[in-house]
Every structure is written in structure tokens, then in C-alpha cells.
Structure 1
Amino acid sequence: MNTRRDPHALADALPLAAQLRDGLRRGVVFLLLAALVLIFSVLQPAFLTLANAMSILQAVAVVAIIGTGVTVTLAVGGFDLSVGAVAASSVMAASYAMIVLDLGAFATVALVLAFGIVVGLFNALLIVRLKVPDLLATLSTMFLLTGLQLIPTAGRSISAGLILPDGSKATGKVDPLFLAIGRSSLFETLPLPVLLMILVAIVLFVLTERTRFGRLLFATGGNETATRLAGAPVERLRGFAYVLSASLAALGGIIVAARIGRGDVSSGASLLMDSVAASLIGFAVRGLRRPNVGGTIVGAVFVGVLLNGLTMLNAPYYTQDFIKGAVLVSALALTYGINRKMR
């Protein structure tokens, strides 16, 4: 028997193997997501229903919206650690505006979005003007907001009939029109928070991936000095990223407040970690190995599917963060490991 290998066959096989590895690298997150859906569907048939799919999307809408803001800060070479605190403060601010200040839905939304813009400008001032490292600046903002949101109510959650620190009683109530933001559905099928998530994703995807402005954002994160020498307004680009991130976090807080109908002091506890996880998983989507809005949305859905499935299987709550972390590590390790073998 002739055991010699045909060199032409080897030449043909190598590109094929490389193509398979490249396909695996690009699709590893989708393969893991498909595997999760299959496993959960087999173990719990109720998982694979339209109602549960909409429930998952509604649950991840806020995380996805906040995560896209984090993604933009990653694109300029930064990182916004304050988004969870901004969202939580926005929940409290929205409830305070309606229940204590007796404002309507439109005024409340405008006030909270303005609050997000102000926080973003404050972060931009620290980072861009005062040259404070982004992690230190946004961490400081996080602690500042975490404490500030508790002061007006002396640490109490905000609901109708709230007793204020001076002993008076709040007379306002949550506007039903405001509640519709978090509880209504389009055509009784598509929840409004999911629609907002889709709109934000489309706008930011086009902005970051299809415009010159988006290319400048990534150029700033890749090589700030070269981008500045090329004439780009680097400071404005970085400032824009942090203003956008805080504004989207405020929008996420509005949706949470509209969904729960009160100002819960613990409402934003997990938003930072989940939004960061979605952004990091986005690095592995399609093997891009860079922040990208589409990947962040997929990452948010990935986390949502995982948590929803674990909940339906009655997995202990104290194991969920560990499992989520293990799956995240696996997705990133596979993506970067496969890429290393292709070099």
C-alpha cells in the first residue's frame, strides 16, 4: 500500500481546514447560543415558545440598551463603570419626579434624560479635560451617584404615599402614560422596551459601522495620537461617547422605573455587570475581537437565554452568576484560542 501523501491534496486540505477554523471562530457564540436553546428546550419544553422568547427579549432590553453605550466607550478606548449607578439613579429620579414633584410622563422623561446627559458631561469633564483615567473617573461617579440617590428619601424606596425626611407625605402618583413605556406592547406582541432596544441598536449600528464618524470613534480607540494628527476632534469624540453612554443608561433607568412602577433603591444592582458581560461577549461575535453594537445585542440575548433557562430549570440563584461567568469565559477562550491557532 502506498502511504505517501499527495502534496496537491495537502495544499487543498489546508485552506479547507483554515476555512473551517475561521467559520468556527466567527460562529462560536451562535453555536453556544444554539446549544443552550436546544438543551433548555429538551429539558423544559415551555422554553421554546413565542411568549417566552418575548419575555427573554423584554428582560434583556435594558441590559442591551445600556450595553450599547458601554460599547461606544470601549470603541474610543475607554470604559464606563458608572452606567449601573446612572440607571439606578434614573429609576429613583423618575419616581421622585412623579410622586414627590407631581410631574407628568413627558416632563419626567425629559428630566431624566437631561440628568443622564449631565452625568455624561461630568464624566467627559473628568476624563477629557482633567485627564483622570476613565476607570477611576467613572468609578468615582458610580460611588457619587450610589450615595446621592439615597439622600432625598433618606435611603427609602419611592412609592405613592412616601413619607419624606421632613415628615410630610408625597401626594403625587406614577403617571399611567409613563407606565406604558415599560408595560405596553405593539400589536399586543412586541413589548415596547424591545422595540426601543431594536431602534437604539439600529441607530448605533449605522452610526458606528457605516459612517465616517463611527470610523473615527474606533480610530480614536485604536491610536488616539495618530487620529489627532490626522485632524480628528479626539476630545469631542471621547466626550460624545461618555455622554451617549450615560444617556442610554438613563433611558434604561426610565424603562425599569416604568416596568416596576416605583423607585426601588436596589433596582440597578445587576445592570452594570450584565451590560458589561453583553459588551464583552460582543467581542467574540463573528470573531471581530473588537467592541461592536451588533455583538453586544447578541451578547445580551445570550445572557438572557442563559438566565431564563436556568430559572425555568429551578437552578439555585446563587449558582447563576458562576454559570454565567463560566459560559462567558468559554466563549471568549474559544474565540481567541481558535484565532491564535490560525496565525
Structure 2
Amino acid sequence: MGSDLARGSAIFLLLAAMLVGFGTAEPAFLGLANAMSVLQAVSVTAILATGITVTLAVGGFDLSIGAVAAASVMVASYAMVVWHQPVWTTVPIVFAFGVVVGLLNAALILWLRVPDLLATLAVNFLLTGLQLIPTAGRSIATGLILPDGTAATGRFDPAFLAIGRGRLFGILPVPVVLMIVVALALHVLTEHTRIGRLLFATGGNAVAARLAGAPTGRLKALAYLVSGGLAALGGIAVAARVGRGDVSSGASLLLDAVAAALIGFAVLNRRRPNVFGAVVGAIFVGFLLNGLTMLNAPYYTQDFVKGAVLVGALALTFGFARRA
């Protein structure tokens, strides 16, 4: 029991040690402004990680979530800059796009019996290329010359930009508020409702769950719909913060979200996908990389650090558990 408690609390002990260490070396690290900056930076990663967590719960794995978020950035930008749409129509358009992609993933997996990894990887490649076609591979901003030779004269709605740049009570960034709301909602859904229990039952043994009367197909479809919708929300937050449709905006979203979701397995020694752990994983990695940056660590070491943290978390969760 003592070893389980130690494993479950290890990431929190490491986080506390990291805060003390970086705070001692660079006092600005512990400042409120820096904390809000880090939380804003990791909010999209955390939102996407919760989406991946839901698909992991049903025994799947959504590898398209980063591409959906990146494509959502382009859809939102295209709707405002090219189609001159306000925020009130742009946001529903982007969410509809995410849901449609979720339906596509579900159709490939459930109707055509394509394995989850292969289906979502194929959709990942599809969206990565598709998002570049309407603008001939160029980023979207006012004055963009479209393939037909006309110039896009629209602009980003200030109300839309507030989603990525606004602050609640002048302190808490709106993307952080979105992260908290999404995390709380999904935590309650997955841990404290019948649907949540059925999601994990489907992931644990789909055949037994189906024989027990669980609608496993619908539950899997629901997981990918939730994942697609959350990816769209992440794309909206990125587009609103950047203020342009940057073709490279989603380059690292998938790997960062996957890392956060998997690190979450080690939180509280759950050894299974969980929303709380995914958010903690995203925040942990965010503060770690921020501290290294403030101490002038080379930027090219960041991927190695993230990989080392992920390997350590998984070894702590599964390797030592096997010995116990």
C-alpha cells in the first residue's frame, strides 16, 4: 500500500521539487504572470489530451486529433477572412467540422472495421493535406491571394480573438477557463456517471460489455465525436490566440497531447486513462519546459526532455507495479 501511495503521488512530489528548484534559480518562475502564461500555453494540449483519454477509455486511440485541431485553425480563419463570417457563425462551423471528422473516424472503425490506429492515422494524413488545398499551402490572413487570384479582405472578429487573448477578471486567460470547464465536465462524465463506467467497460472487454447489454458501438462513436469536438475547440483557441491561419500551428499538438494523456496513467497510480491525470501531465510538462527555457536550456533538448518524462512516468506506473 505504501509503494502504491508513493507511485501515485510521485508526479506531484516531482512537480513540487521542480517548482522549488526552478523558483530558486529564477525567482520570476514562480510569479503569477509566468504561471498564467504556462497554463495558457498548455491549455490546448490539455484539452486535446482529454479527448485522447476518452478514446483510450473505449480501447481506441485517436491519432487524428492534432490534424483536426490544425485544420480547425484553418477552417476558422477561412470562415472569417475569406467568407467574412462573424464569431457567432464561425464557432459553430468549426465545431461542425470537428464532429464530422469524429463521425468519419467512427464510420471507418465501426462500419468498415478498420483498426483505430490505422483509421485515425489515415484521417490524420488526409486532413494534413486537405487543409492546405484551399489556400495553396499559404497561411490565412487579411490580404491573402487565393488560388483564383482574388484577395481575401475579411478580418478576424475581435470577439473571436477574445477567446484566445481575453482574461477572466483580468487574470485568468480564457483558454485556461475552457481547459478547466472541459476537464471538470469530462472528469464527472467518465468517473461519476453510468456512461463513464460503460466507456471503461467497453475498453476493458468490449465483448463482455456487449453481452451485458452495453451499446459498445455507440459508446465508441461517442468517444470519437467527443474527441473531434474537443480538437475543434483546441483549434479555435489556437486561431484566436495567433490571429491567423498558420499552416504550421498544429505541428506538435498530437505528440504533446499523447504525452500528456499517457503521463496521466501515472497520476494517483491509476494505471488507466483518466482526465485528471491527462491535465496534470500537460501542466507538469508545461512547467518543466518553461523552467528549462528560463534557465536558457537549448531549445533542441525539449523533445528529449518530454520523451524522458514520458518514459519515466510509464516505467513508474507499469514497471515497478509488475514487481510489486
TM-score by length of 1: 0.93
**Higher mean C-alpha deviation, range 245-254 or range 21-30:** 21-30
Q: Residue 96 of structure 1: which of 75, 78, 90 is its match? A: 78
Q: 1:242-281 to 2 correspondence within 5 Å?
A: 242-281=224-263
The count of aligned residue pairs is: 324
Question: Is the Cα contact below 8 Å between 1:21 and 1:338 reproduced in 2?
Answer: no
Question: Is the Cα contact below 8 Å between 1:92 and 1:264 reproduced in 2?
Answer: yes
Question: Is the Cα contact below 8 Å between 1:179 and 1:258 reproduced in 2?
Answer: yes
Match of 1:114 in 2: 96
Q: Aligned partners of 2:114 and 2:312: how far apart in 1?
A: 33
Question: Is the Cα contact below 8 Å between 1:28 and 1:335 reproduced in 2?
Answer: no
Match of 2:287 in 1: 305
1:341 positional shift: 3.1
Alignment-mate amino acid for residue 46 of structure 2:
A
Q: Aligned partners of 1:260 and 1:137: how far apart in 2?
A: 30
Q: Aligned partners of 2:313 and 2:63: how far apart in 1?
A: 23
| Structure 2 residue 212 is matched with structure 1 residue 224 | no
Q: Aligned partners of 1:305 and 1:63: how far apart in 2?
A: 13
Question: Is the Cα contact below 8 Å between 1:113 and 1:250 reproduced in 2?
Answer: yes
Q: Aligned partners of 1:150 and 1:254: how far apart in 2?
A: 17
Q: Residue 141 of structure 1: which of 100, 123, 140 is its match? A: 123
Whose radius of gyration is greater, 1 or 2? 1
1:34 positional shift: 1.5
1:307 positional shift: 1.2
Q: Aligned partners of 2:156 and 2:264: how far apart in 1?
A: 36
Match of 1:37 in 2: 19
| Structure 2 residue 192 is matched with structure 1 residue 210 | yes
| Structure 2 residue 321 is matched with structure 1 residue 316 | no
1:159 positional shift: 0.4
Residue deviations 1:251-271 (CA, integer Å, cap 9, x gap) = 000000000000000000010
1:269 counterpart SS class: coil
Any gaps of 5 or more consecutive residues in structure 1? 1-18
Alignment-mate amino acid for residue 126 of structure 2:
L
1:331 positional shift: 2.0
1:20 positional shift: 2.6
Match of 1:201 in 2: 183
Q: Aligned partners of 2:166 and 2:258: how far apart in 1?
A: 27
Q: Aligned partners of 1:43 and 1:324: how far apart in 2?
A: 21
| Structure 2 residue 310 is matched with structure 1 residue 328 | yes
Q: Aligned partners of 2:239 and 2:183: how far apart in 1?
A: 21
Match of 2:135 in 1: 153
Alignment-mate amino acid for residue 123 of structure 1:
N
Q: Aligned partners of 1:334 and 1:201: how far apart in 2?
A: 24
| Structure 2 residue 142 is matched with structure 1 residue 132 | no
2:136 counterpart SS class: coil
Match of 1:286 in 2: 268
Would you identify which runs of 4 or more consecutive aligned residues in structure 1 move more than 3 Å? none
Alignment-mate amino acid for residue 70 of structure 2:
A
1:175 positional shift: 0.4
Residue deviations 1:115-159 (CA, integer Å, cap 9, x gap) = 000000000000011110000000000000000000000000000
CA RMSD of aligned residues (A): 0.8
Q: Aligned partners of 1:334 and 1:75: how far apart in 2?
A: 20
1:40 positional shift: 1.1
Question: Is the Cα contact below 8 Å between 1:28 and 1:331 reproduced in 2?
Answer: no
Any gaps of 5 or more consecutive residues in structure 2? none
Q: 1:3-82 to 2 correspondence within 5 Å?
A: 19-82=1-64
Q: Aligned partners of 1:85 and 1:300: how far apart in 2?
A: 19
1:21 positional shift: 1.2
Q: Aligned partners of 1:25 and 1:334: how far apart in 2?
A: 7
**Higher mean C-alpha deviation, range 250-259 or range 40-49:** 40-49
Alignment-mate amino acid for residue 220 of structure 1:
T
Q: Aligned partners of 2:64 and 2:295: how far apart in 1?
A: 33
Q: Aligned partners of 1:220 and 1:29: how far apart in 2?
A: 28
Alignment-mate amino acid for residue 117 of structure 2:
L
1:72 positional shift: 0.2
1:328 positional shift: 1.7
Q: Aligned partners of 1:265 and 1:158: how far apart in 2?
A: 8
